[in-house]
Amino acid sequence: MIRYRSYAKLNLFLDITGIDGPLHTLDMVMQSVSLYDELTFEPLLENRVEIVCDNVDLQSNNIIEKAFRLTQRVFPQIRQGFRVTLNKKIPMGAGLAGGSGNAAATVHYLLTQNHIKPSPKWLRPLLLSIGSDVAFCYRGGTQRVRGVGDVLRSYQSPHRHFLIVSPHIAVSSAEAYRLWDAFDVRGGRSEEPAKDPHRPYNAFEQIIFPLYPEIARLKSRLLDLGATEALMSGSGSAVFGIFKTKDQCEQAEKQLNDKRYSTWVVRGMSLGVSRLKDVEYSC
């Protein structure tokens, strides 16, 4: 058995810059953090994937299955499947890239198990074909991510301590983009000045907050609790506060103390997926 951790991501900055065919182009600063899902892989003799998870919905139509099939298509020497036990800790529909991280860990496992060391020429298109966040989740750390997720560059961020709050609201990314397109057509985008990626910003807040006022209230609450900045991650629904120290995060978490939410005090990570023995923090 081989165990992996796939780490959640936060969007320290997210701007929607246009459309490229069926996909939106983005400008983002993304940060891996220490909240993780754990995946335990066991090889099978058959050419299939078996997913073991407490969440029945994740046992079918899972991005792990998609990652396996697309990786096998690019590297046909992969002939055996696997059983994976998924211990899901990253909430779904929260804008934290839990599924993309699971897919990245799956690709890493398949390549390592089959002794394949692909060049970026082969690896990057494979990861992007699985999902737009998968390339980042495979690489991890702090990255400036642009285009359709295909342009990544290491980025320096002074932020290392975060309090994530999930209000248990699932937001569909596809629906968020549909709403953004309608907002853009109405002229909302043209009224905005250019944004500075060094300053926290999330374009999706303009359309998600009116639909889900609870998410907006959580952002304000984190600022009231001492966060230097607070932001929604991705298309939501999770929000996070940036704090100077871990102790400040923990104090804010205690004051929040609401059973309607799940909370995590996390640190920035220098990687997106890892075997258990490879775990390391970015500071």
What does each of the 283 residues of the chain score in pLDDT, given as a tens digit?
A: 999 999 999 999 999 999 888 889 999 999 999 999 999 999 999 999 999 999 877 777 789 999 999 999 999 999 999 999 999 999 999 999 999 999 999 999 999 999 999 999 999 999 999 999 999 999 999 999 999 999 999 998 888 999 999 998 999 999 999 999 988 765 555 556 668 899 999 999 999 999 999 999 999 999 999 999 999 999 999 999 999 999 999 999 999 988 889 999 999 999 999 988 655 444 3
Tokens 């066991």 correspond to 42
CA-to-CA distance for 139 and 205, rounded, in angstroms? 26
CA-to-CA distance for 206 and 183, rounded, in angstroms? 9
CA-to-CA distance for 60 and 51, rounded, in angstroms? 8
Domain ranges, ordered by start, for the chain: 2-156, 161-267
161-267 under CATH 3.30.70.890, yes or no: yes
Structure tokens at 269: 């990570």
Active-site residue numbers? 9, 133
Of residues 162, 166, 155, 131, the one with CA closest to residue 230: 162
Max CA distance (Å), the chain: 58
Residues 6+ apart with CB under 8 A from 159: 12, 31, 229, 242, 268
For 2-156, CATH gives: 3.30.230.10
Residues 6+ apart with CB under 8 A from 187: none
